[in-house]
Amino acid sequence: MSDSLKAVRIGVEGVFYSLTHVPDLVRYGSKPSRETKANHDLAEGLAKKLRSFPEAVAYAPHQVYIGNITPEELNGLTKPWYEKLIEGASVQGRFGDLVDQSRFYSLLAASDQFDLVTFEEKWFQEHAGGGPANGRKPRLRSIAEIKALCDKGAFQLCSGGMLVGAFEAGHAEDANLTAEILLENLAAKVTAAHALRSLLNAVKLHPGEIDYVISCSEEAVGDRYNRGGGNLAKAIAEEVGCENASGSDTKAFCAGPLYAMVHGASLIQSGVCRKVAVVAGGSLAKLGMKFESHLKKGMPVLEDVLGSFAVVLEAAKPNMPCVRLDSAAFHPVRAGASPQAMAEFLAEKPLAKLGMKLTDVDRYGVELHNPEITVPSGSGDVPRTNYLTLAALAVMRGQIQKSQMEDFVRARGMVGYAPTQGHIPSAIVYLGHALDALRDGKIRNAMFISKGSLFLGRMTQLSDGCSFLVEQCPG
C-alpha cells in the first residue's frame, strides 16, 4: 500500500447521526400523500401500521445508525428486525440519537422565523415545551383557531392522529412557498441543526469555532424566482449559533454528502477555513415511500424517520481518523452510467493512483439502504448489489477468484441499516462506525462510495458519484 509523503489528510473531529421519528408526518410523504388521496382505505391502513416511538427506538437498524450496535452485529440478529426489537434500547447512541415527534415539533416552532408554525397551547405546554435554549417563542393558539387555520389551507400537525397544530404557507400565490414545501424545508433545517448542535456538544466545540457549514440536504429552498436558490447551510449555521460561519449548499442527489466532504476538506487543505461542518437534514418527501408494500406484507410502515447527520472536519492531527483528500474521485461525464463504470471510476482508478488494489480496502461504505425496507417492494438489496459489482470487478482484474466473490462481500461489505432517506444512506452513514473501527484497529482503511441519480431531474441521462478513503493519521 502506498503511503507516500504526498498523502493529503484532513481530520474528522467527530460525527453525529440523528433519527427523528415523525409518524404523524408519514402521510405527508410524497408517495403516501398521492396514494391516500386516491384511496382512503390506504390512509386507514397506513395509520394502523405506524410505529410508536419506543418501537422505533428498539428497531435494530436504528440502533446501528446511532452507534449502539455495529453493522456486523446486526448481520447476526434474527429477522425480521421489526419484530425482534432490542430490549432496553436507548435513545442515546455512541454517536447519535433518536428524537421523538413532540420534541421535533418543539424544534420546529423554535426555529420558525416567519410565523409558519402554530400549536395548540395546552398540548404544547404539556408535550413539547422544551425547544433549544435560544429558540423563538412558539406561536400558541386555541384549538378553534388551529382548526380555522387548517380550514384556510394550513397543513395539519397531529400527534397520535389528534390535531395539535397548523403549518401555514409562506405566500398566498407562490408555488414554492406552499405549506407542503416549507414544512419539508423547515424539517430539513431543524433536523440538520439538531445533529450539528449535538455533535458540537459531544466534541466540546463552541459553535463560534466553526468557520463554514456545508449543507448537502436535498430540499430546494427558494421562492418562485429562485427555486432551489438554497443556502440552507447558512440558516442551519444561524440556528446552531455558528455566528462566525457562513456556508453554502452542495447538491448532487445522493452523492451530495461525499462531495460536501471533499469540498469541506479542500477548504481546510487550502487554508481558507480551519473548521468546516458538513450537515444534512431529513427528507420529509421520502417518508412512507414504500408503505404500500409494507402494508401488503403486514409489516409496520418502516419509513417513519427523518435522518440527519453532522461531521466536523479540521486539520489532521496524529492518530486522528482522516479523509485522504488525495484519494477523492468523481464520476466524470465520459464514464457512462453502468455499475461497472461507476466501480471503475470511483474505486479501481483512485485506488490504483495510490498504488492500491480493490482488495487493499478493508471495508467499503456504499449505499447502505436497509434491505428490510427495500426488498419487500421489489427494490432489491441495494448494498449487496453494490458489493457484488465491486467483487465482480476484482474478479475481472484478477485480484480474486470468482469463487471468492462471496468472501469479498462478507469481509469488505456490510448489511444495510439506513432508512431510505436518499442522501443519508449514501455511504456517509458508515462514517461513525468506520471511525470506531479505525480507532480500535479493526480496519486499516475504509472507502466511501456514493452515487447520485441525476437523471431524475430530467436535465441529463447521467448518473453521478464521488468517493474517498478514510484512514488513521500516522502517529
Q: Of 4 and 461, which has the nearer Cβ to other proteins?
A: 461
Q: In the complex, what is the shortest distance from the CB of residue 253 to other proteins, in angstroms, rounded to a whole number?
A: 8
> Could you give the angle at the alpha carbon of 445 between the alpha carbons of 441 and 446, nearest 5°?
120
> Whose Cβ is closer to other proteins: residue 43's or residue 341's?
341
Nearer to other proteins, 369 or 412 (CB): 369
**245 neighbors 215 (Cβ within 8 angstroms):** no
Q: Contact at 8 Å (CB) between 388 and 450?
A: no
Q: How far is the CB of 289 from other proteins (least distance, A)?
A: 8
Nearer to other proteins, 197 or 294 (CB): 294
**Minimal distance in Å, beta carbon 375 to other proteins?**
11
Name which of 390 and 435 has its Cβ closer to other proteins.
390
**Contact (Cβ atoms closer than 8 angstroms) between residue 303 and residue 271:** no
Q: Would you say 103 or 412 has its CB closer to other proteins? A: 412
Question: Rounded to the nearest 5°, which phi and psi values hold at 209?
Answer: -80, -10
Q: How many helices (H) and strands (E) does the chain have?
A: 18, 14
Helix (H, G, I), strand (E, B) or coil at 228: coil
Q: Taking the complex as a whole, how short is the minimal distance between the CB of residue 396 and other proteins, in angstroms?
A: 17
Half-sphere exposure of 29 (CA within 13 A, CB side): 27
| In the complex, least distance from residue 339 CB atom to other proteins, rounded to whole angstroms | 6
* Residue 419 and residue 307 in contact, taking contact as beta carbons nearer than 8 Å: yes
Q: What angle do CA 411, 417, 420 make, to 5 degrees?
A: 130
Least CB distance to other proteins at residue 77 (A): 22
Coarse DSSP helix, strand, coil percentages of the chain, rounded to the nearest 5 percent:
40, 20, 40
Q: What is the DSSP letter of 50?
A: P
Least distance (Å) from other proteins to the CB of residue 386? 7
CB-nearer residue toward other proteins: 194 or 290:
290
CA of residue 253 relative to chain centroid, distance: 12
Identity of the residue, 270 or 461, whose beta carbon is nearer to other proteins in the bound complex: 461
Peptide bond preceding 80 in cis form (omega within 30 of 0): yes
260, containing H or E segment: helix 256-269
| Comparison of 78 and 461: residue with beta carbon closer to other proteins | 461
Q: How far is the CB of 395 from other proteins (least distance, A)?
A: 18
**Sign, CA torsion 208/210/216/222:** positive
How far, in Å, CA of 448 to CA of 429, rounded?
10
Q: Report the residue number, 245 or 373, with the smaller CB distance to other proteins.
A: 373
Binding residues vs other proteins (CB under 8 A): 337-339, 367, 369, 374, 377-380, 382, 385-386, 420, 422, 425, 451, 453, 455-456, 461, 463
250 versus 386: smaller Cβ distance to other proteins: 386
DSSP state of 97: E
Cell numbers at 236, concatenated: 442551519
Residues 6+ apart with CB under 8 A from 368: 71, 382, 383, 414, 416, 417, 418, 425, 427, 429, 430
For residue 298, what is the DSSP state? T
How near is the Cβ of 452 to other proteins at its closest, in Å? 9
CB of 306 to other proteins, least distance (A): 16
Mark residue 177 as left, alpha or beta (left: phi above 0; alpha: psi -120 to 50; beta: remaining): alpha
Question: Smallest Cα–Cα separation from 103: which of 140, 125, 138, 129?
Answer: 129
Nearest approach, Cβ of residue 285 and other proteins (Å):
13
